[in-house]
Chains A and B, each alone.
Chain A
Amino acid sequence: MSASTRLSMRTLLAVTLLTAGALPTRADSEADFKAAFVAAEKAEKEAGALRNQWTTTEAALAAAKKAASAGDFDAAVASAKEAEALARASMFQATSEKERWKDLEIR
């Protein structure tokens, strides 16, 4: 093997290793989904404790699960994050309404 060939192989190996480190693997994406889904489920559970869940949160959670089952982890992560945001908005609503409902009361 010539010196130049050895150099090219080393370069190729270095580039491969660098690329592998920069781009997410399937395992990374799946882990991201799992983390996002756990966070979303936790938030939705808290909304449930406040008796104020939204159907759109449930739909986003279901969409996340479906995308993950199909191996589309980017979509699954996006849906899980959307579900968490919706769950947090429903918690905000439930908390603020604890006093604000009185504004509408007929007296």
Chain B
Amino acid sequence: MMRAAGLLALLALLTAAPSTQAADAADPAAEAKAFREFFVKKFPQVKLDDFVNGPYSMNEDMRRQWEEKEEFPPYQFALDAGKEMFSQPFKNGKTYADCFDNRGIGVRQTYPMFDATAGKVVTLELALNNCREANGEAPLSYVKDEMASLTAYMAFTSRGKAMDIKLPDDPRARAAFETGKQYFYTRRGQLNFSCASCHVQSPGERIRAEVLAPALGILNAMPIYRSEWSGMGTTSRRFTTCNSQIRGVPLEPQAEEYRDLEYYLSYVSNGLPVSGPGARP
């Protein structure tokens, strides 16, 4: 009982953290503007497009190491595998290209998108599995290498293109944006952290050996090769791992909350370039 009381007291203390409010926001476009301005003001030395490089935009030593690594990028094997998988026909003779605009080339910056027919947010990972299932193939795991390879290839074909997430005039799309925002700022797990605790309140700071990335443009580099994982990781893997690290039970990959979170974070990063696949420590 003492432990529970102590825990509740700790929760009460942590939830009394200072506010990061900057100005009133009237609509998602204004919120995205305020979001961008918050980071630009907090890190005036960082060029806007450089935020997509995460910790490397925050730390000069790490940046130099990363630039060296990029000469022989650790995600190259995933790119090669993804390119091959992408062009390989399904059993019915069709390919992934048949499921996407522009045959899937240079379209990463439009995902996630709101599907008005289904009434839900569709991420690139979900769209790839929808494509597989529509063509009689079993879905891939959202957290393993094959999915990461496919999204790595699609991101690579979109490198440098500005994120262009649409928020249609549809109350369901707006609700998804709001749900994603709420998820982003909500504290969870026994450590009582929200996504914002690390990526709004503390970017550039260290958490153990890691330098925390800013939330602005944080998904533009996905998927990523992580040295910590000794392999590639999808956005789904990143979200579920973050939850585990704060001692929260992760939701199932591609749960509605995670898709909405990806929608929110991608929308507020509109205009910043796609830089995936990325490499992180």
Interchain nearest-CB distance for B13 vs A (Å): 12
Across the interface, A105 reaches (CB within 8 A) one of B1, B181, B249, namely: B181
A79 partner residues in chain B, CB cutoff 8 A: none
How many Å lie between the Cα of A53 and that of B246 in the bound state? 11
Q: Are the CB atoms of B247 and A56 closer together than 8 Å?
A: yes
Q: Which chain A residues in 51-69 approach chain B with CB under 8 Å?
A: 51-56, 58
How many Å lie between the Cα of A15 and that of B115 in the bound state? 77
Given contacts A54-B247, A55-B190, contact A104 B201 (CB under 8 A): yes
Give a binary string over A77-107; 1 marks a CB under 8 Å from any B CB, 0 the rest.
0000010011011101110110011111111
Determine chain A's interface SS by DSSP, over half rule. Answer: helix
B138 contacts partner chain A, Cβ-Cβ < 8 Å: no
Across the interface, B187 reaches (CB within 8 A) one of A55, A82, A93, namely: A93
Q: Which chain B residues in 22-46 approach chain A with CB under 8 Å?
A: 22-25, 31, 34-35, 38
B24 partner residues in chain A, CB cutoff 8 A: 107
How many Å lie between the Cα of A13 and that of B119 in the bound state? 75
Closest chain B residue, CB of each to CB of A48: B249
Q: Are the CB atoms of B7 and A52 closer together than 8 Å?
A: no
Closest chain A residue, CB of each to CB of B12: A96
Across the interface, B15 reaches (CB within 8 A) one of A82, A90, A96, A106, namely: A96
A94 partner residues in chain B, CB cutoff 8 A: 188
A–B complex contacts, Cβ < 8 Å, 24 sampled: A51-B251, A55-B189, A55-B249, A82-B3, A85-B1, A85-B7, A86-B7, A86-B190, A88-B4, A89-B4, A89-B7, A97-B15, A97-B186, A97-B188, A101-B186, A101-B194, A102-B185, A103-B17, A103-B19, A104-B197, A105-B19, A105-B181, A106-B31, A107-B25
**What residues of chain B have their CB less than 8 Å away from a CB belonging to chain A?**
1, 3-4, 7-8, 11, 15, 17, 19-25, 31, 34-35, 38, 181-182, 185-190, 192, 194, 196-197, 200-201, 244, 247-249, 251, 257
Sorted nearest first, the 3 A-B pairs with minimum C-beta distance are A85-B4, A53-B249, A101-B185
**What residues of chain A have their CB less than 8 Å away from a CB belonging to chain B?**
51-56, 58, 82, 85-86, 88-90, 92-94, 96-97, 100-107
